[in-house]
Structure 1
């Protein structure tokens, strides 16, 4: 009975705690939501004094078979157990199994039968029956060549150890495997191949291509969540040595530094490579002419490119004989980093002009906002998609056949290159768990991307970052919205949730709530603390407060844990002035109000009807009151005023004579998300003034607030959020006096679709060529 009673008390305590959280106000602390600080992660948001993380080093030999569209590889992994725990098994990621015949990805993907279906849609619903995807494990042995026991569970493989791997020990094992590369145009995906029918050639982007160690960490143990296609990666750091064998006329772009340039490049290409290191402009290493020649000749042999990369969490490469290659050196705090681009001739006209310059610009801005870029190269590869890996990313952007391109294609290309290169910092260096918290890489990255875009050219048309761009999402149906703090596979409206909303939130935090100086210092502190480590949301939230002395729990609670939106309204304004007691002033005002208040329409109607009153017909009926003015100023009034003035102090006289206007403004928080109140006053003389009241103005009453605005000028209009800083979803209730403007709708005309990243032939440039 005692044990049962104890259990009941424990349950009751838990229920009370949960209920207590539900009843918490918007300004209560996030104690219940954040992980408890410990020796691994401190209450300040910094790594603890015995923080640890695992390490995995790779040596890989891989061959690209162009005829079979197949990757075949052999790898040796050396895994170091830096944890205090004994490990009896290891978990390895097999991301290609997402495309295996028995993949649960196909089973959990919802679909329906449309009224009209294309062959491609049917193909996708059937799970691409003619494609045999997935990692094919050929061999798994230990360092002595003995077979190791393993179990494959969809995209995860457990390796069972004969002896526990103790703290501080390491283990080496080897895996042989192959897989069939997917046609990305047909099946989608982050990696794959793009086939160019016109010249019968292929561009390969080889990603998530080898068995990779999963993360084992201090706060969840093994991160072995299945890969369903959306949630990306959680990977440990390590060193890579990779030998990539490809057709001999292919050019390989890769994570890491090329070790055997003399063996794979011509003398002219080597000379251009050296020149590019000190050039202020991109230098062509492989020219357009050389790439076009390789497209036609198609050599029959093979060539091996060797790359090494230190302290990276992943490895990817691209390969094609179609690649044009340009490069330039970038000075990052005294170090030369090579910014490079690889692209087919179909991207010429856009990529040769912009790509490498965008890479260089991105490295400079992100290095200023976070840490100096630590790697030797940063590569952008044109591949009709957008995806990132350490030192290399794949991006879209092709002009029309006549060389023209639309503004949407141009800025889309610049934006995606900025974004994907920026991913080198989040999450390739600040190594968050994308499979758990997508916003920690996509949102943080989209935020800094916005800063870089705005520093690329004036009024750059950024998609994400400006507060006004997220309004339509935030005011939408809450049944179709999830909090930012949602697991990646469960998010609805992925782009808005994981990219747009957190980017906007951080921009508001920087520009409106904290100010640039405090924000930038705190953001840089977080980046420095967690570079080459595994941060969690709690570490970010705590560091931003720890380095700024700004309590932001209300902000995280509203923007990251709720689906509330911003809608602050001016409900009413009451205008007050001092009663000066001066009869010459006040009596005139009283008279005007009395006459206005006593007015009715009958006298006007009588006059219009020609009715003459009795007194007008008989003037002898007039007496004292017919000419008496109750608001006239007499000697008694003047004497009383003189006595009143004599009783005032000099300060009181100054206030009374100052001509102050007191506007009592009543605000309402209709959206639920508390934010600062930004108020613009427009005066009668045409001048304006803007004041900001911190979000804490709502701390005692979360739905209503009253604030007096005092000015010596007369106000003709008040407006909330005049520069659209807070993502207010209803601007029409932001005005006093109220205003109404018509909503617009348009006659919709369907446009012709073009492949992603390729400019339509009919564009602004072509029409004005």
Structure 2
């Protein structure tokens, strides 16, 4: 009786106070609140993560007239800008961005680039001089006039990629100022200088595709957080912009097809009657599975335009309200198709522009991917508010602007493509169209925080890709695929919470895209659960749509809307560079002594027999009948017949008396034969994460036990946990479903599961091997022979 009571008491202590008894107990601050790490809440941004009562944002409205010189690859333009000062500060000057100046060889974005020469490998011009390809080029903004509303010149100062406009009088709070700028610039060769916008030349037909971005002098952001955000454009940290209304009158050769931010205002003047008819046919289409886009400009028509010559110009007029930027694409090579699917109760144009070089991939997938993306993101954030979304194929591999994105992934010249090219097309279109939500609507500061647009968008991209195809390799959100990045030495990483331009280029993808996207997926699947996460993420999107959130607003909103304390998670994943590495050190097995003689004596008999089953006993068994006692019965007494393991009536009575003395809970414990396992775990990586344990039982069934990350709050290095089961466990596995990005799964099993190290026998070969044909090409190469064998 005493033994079972003491055991029950001991179990209560170990379950309730395991951490207090752990010999390696150590204080840690991983679960303390972020506190002073985050900015102090105020009337602009509240402690809940919502905009405060004094939140403001300035705006700028643009009326732009521009023309394209298709012979000299040049843009000439003028703009009238009306700036609205909604802040409480008087502004004596305004800051504008001149992003084309990045392509001048003497700007900081070029001169601050490092370079090296390798004696073993030689060196390219880019390695010797990162700005070498720009020398002798006449790139950059050429400002020819800056005037006030009355036509008087305004003083301005250009500082590399920024321009300060000095005003004759301050812009008082609540007031506006209007001014105009004339400028021109030489369009860059995208592939030649590694730009986010520019042209691609097609020597076979002598034509160009233009994807024009970062092309007009545009206002910097003035906010409650940074004042003027006028950090120089170094090329990596993207854009910090404000909302406004735009009107563009773009003059191009009259055989060009144009796509741009906003809605086309004069279709009757720039489209043929046939194109307008097809346009009208596309309206309302895109809701039925398998419904193909309506082709407004066919491939045959685009090929005919490639061979012709323009006879004049046309001016395409576009209007866009409440957008943070404006971009356009134009070419005579463009095929144009469109759908108008229903997105959250509203018809939205989903359209694509692409040359013949993009087919058959683009005609089959692009526009339907646009429609899918708008629907998927709208469900998880806010309903897509704009009237159109373009996907354009040209020289830019992937870049986003309001209502229009530039996307890569081109099939081979023979029209075949690899599965990597197909998946690349799906991923890049979903990603870039998805940027309409982050940062085009939820308008983060990209110059400072790349992860707030790239990471959040990559997370939604992964979900949308899986909704498109359940077998899509959505590695950007799969925890096991961030492991190689997190295995890097800490000296090769910077925290996610690093300024965009300070993230090493070699790890930019892991830092700004994959790690935050994976972290959000872990929050959704493992830490918070889908319902809580989805509600909180949607609330963040709703709160900050058409506003400019900071990281603290995101962190606070997710906690505020879910009721889940996540400060430990932000610390580990966003503010640190330590990895996740849990280790299942050992498992100790215990059973309560039931004192049932039927059980205890049977176990004792088995144990005694096992102990007596020595090699000597096995050999002596052959002569046991020759012993004295065996041959002489007079040598036997009571003890030769006594069975110490037989259950007596006295044993049974004592057991019943014992049971009667127990409480109901103690009696259940005594009779159940429960197995108690003490699990010893180590956090070798640093980031505390939930503990997920799979138990495989002897009867072939299994079960999973889950414990929150707070299990590490009293000791972030070593813990123990008691798990009780009615079945015997034969195998334990930590993180069985690869949920937490554990960088070393070799120590996640108990008993350890040995894995062979495989090697390959190979014949030594000299020289390199050329890449072979893709599977589609291989099939085409094989098919003629198969077809020919059946001909007469």
On whether the aligned pair clears a TM of 0.5, the verdict is yes
C-alpha distance 681-24 of structure 1, shift in aligned 2 (>3 A) = closer
Aligned equivalent of 1:311: 322
2:146 paired with 1:134:
no
User: Contact 1:288/1:324 (CA < 8 Å) preserved in 2?
Assistant: yes
Aligned equivalent of 1:407: 419
Aligned equivalent of 2:285: 279
Aligned equivalent of 1:85: 89
For structure 2, the residue ranges without an aligned partner over 5 or more in a row are 1-26, 287-291, 781-792
User: Contact 1:124/1:187 (CA < 8 Å) preserved in 2?
Assistant: no
Query: For 1:745 and 1:141, how far apart are their aligned partners in 2?
Result: 73
Offset from partner CA, 1:621-644 (integer Å, 9 cap, x none):
987778876555455544433432
User: Contact 2:209/2:333 (CA < 8 Å) preserved in 1?
Assistant: yes
Say which of 386, 397, 400 aligns to 1:375: 386
Query: For 1:688 and 1:612, how far apart are their aligned partners in 2?
Result: 47
Query: For 1:315 and 1:597, how far apart are their aligned partners in 2?
Result: 85
C-alpha distance 599-568 of structure 1, shift in aligned 2 (>3 A) = farther
Which is worse superposed, 353-362 or 673-682? 673-682
Aligned equivalent of 2:67: 63
Aligned equivalent of 1:694: 708
* TM-score of the two chains, using structure 1 as the length reference: 0.91
2:512 paired with 1:506:
no
Query: For 1:285 and 1:552, how far apart are their aligned partners in 2?
Result: 50
C-alpha distance 529-572 of structure 1, shift in aligned 2 (>3 A) = same
Query: For 1:386 and 1:512, how far apart are their aligned partners in 2?
Result: 31
2:201 paired with 1:190:
no
Offset from partner CA, 1:397-450 (integer Å, 9 cap, x none):
211122111000001001000000000000000000011110000000001111
2:573 paired with 1:567:
no
- Helix, strand or coil at the partner of 1:502: helix
Query: For 1:568 and 1:724, how far apart are their aligned partners in 2?
Result: 12
Offset from partner CA, 1:718-760 (integer Å, 9 cap, x none):
112221111111112111111121345778999889xxxxxx8
Say which of 329, 344, 348 aligns to 1:337: 348
2:485 paired with 1:473:
yes
Aligned equivalent of 1:488: 500
User: Contact 2:28/2:716 (CA < 8 Å) preserved in 1?
Assistant: no
2:160 paired with 1:149:
no
Offset from partner CA, 1:474-513 (integer Å, 9 cap, x none):
1221111111101011113000111001111111111111
Say which of 421, 429, 433 aligns to 1:417: 429
Query: For 1:763 and 1:124, how far apart are their aligned partners in 2?
Result: 34
Query: For 1:669 and 1:259, how far apart are their aligned partners in 2?
Result: 61
Aligned equivalent of 1:178: 184
Query: For 2:208 and 2:72, how far apart are their aligned partners in 1?
Result: 12
Aligned equivalent of 1:726: 740
Query: For 1:339 and 1:149, how far apart are their aligned partners in 2?
Result: 43
- Helix, strand or coil at the partner of 2:341: strand
Which is worse superposed, 594-603 or 522-531? 594-603
Say which of 238, 242, 245 aligns to 2:248: 242
Aligned equivalent of 2:562: 548
Aligned equivalent of 2:361: 350
Offset at residue 311 of structure 1 (A): 0.4
2:365 paired with 1:361:
no
C-alpha distance 189-406 of structure 1, shift in aligned 2 (>3 A) = same
Aligned equivalent of 2:168: 162
User: Contact 2:625/2:631 (CA < 8 Å) preserved in 1?
Assistant: no
C-alpha distance 673-622 of structure 1, shift in aligned 2 (>3 A) = farther
Which is worse superposed, 448-457 or 717-726? 717-726
Query: For 1:412 and 1:616, how far apart are their aligned partners in 2?
Result: 88
Q: When the two structures are aligned, how many residues end up with a matched partner? A: 739
User: Contact 1:436/1:487 (CA < 8 Å) preserved in 2?
Assistant: yes
Query: For 1:174 and 1:328, how far apart are their aligned partners in 2?
Result: 38
Aligned equivalent of 1:219: 225
For structure 1, the residue ranges without an aligned partner over 5 or more in a row are 1-22, 754-759
Offset at residue 586 of structure 1 (A): 1.3
* TM-score of the two chains, using structure 2 as the length reference: 0.89
Aligned equivalent of 1:18: none
2:276 paired with 1:270:
yes
Aligned equivalent of 2:8: none
Offset at residue 649 of structure 1 (A): 4.0
Aligned equivalent of 1:6: none
Query: For 1:356 and 1:133, how far apart are their aligned partners in 2?
Result: 34
- Helix, strand or coil at the partner of 2:134: coil
Aligned equivalent of 1:450: 462
Offset from partner CA, 1:83-134 (integer Å, 9 cap, x none):
0001111111111111113111221111111423456656746243232221
C-alpha distance 622-92 of structure 1, shift in aligned 2 (>3 A) = farther
- Helix, strand or coil at the partner of 1:706: strand
Aligned equivalent of 1:709: 723
Query: For 1:616 and 1:455, how far apart are their aligned partners in 2?
Result: 83
Query: For 2:208 and 2:536, how far apart are their aligned partners in 1?
Result: 45
- Helix, strand or coil at the partner of 1:244: strand
- Which residues of 2 match residues 201-212 of structure 1 at below 5 A? 201-212=207-218
User: Contact 1:400/1:761 (CA < 8 Å) preserved in 2?
Assistant: no
User: Contact 2:116/2:127 (CA < 8 Å) preserved in 1?
Assistant: no
Offset at residue 454 of structure 1 (A): 0.7
Query: For 1:475 and 1:101, how far apart are their aligned partners in 2?
Result: 37
User: Contact 1:106/1:127 (CA < 8 Å) preserved in 2?
Assistant: no
2:307 paired with 1:296:
yes
What is the Cα-based RMSD across aligned positions, in Å? 2.6
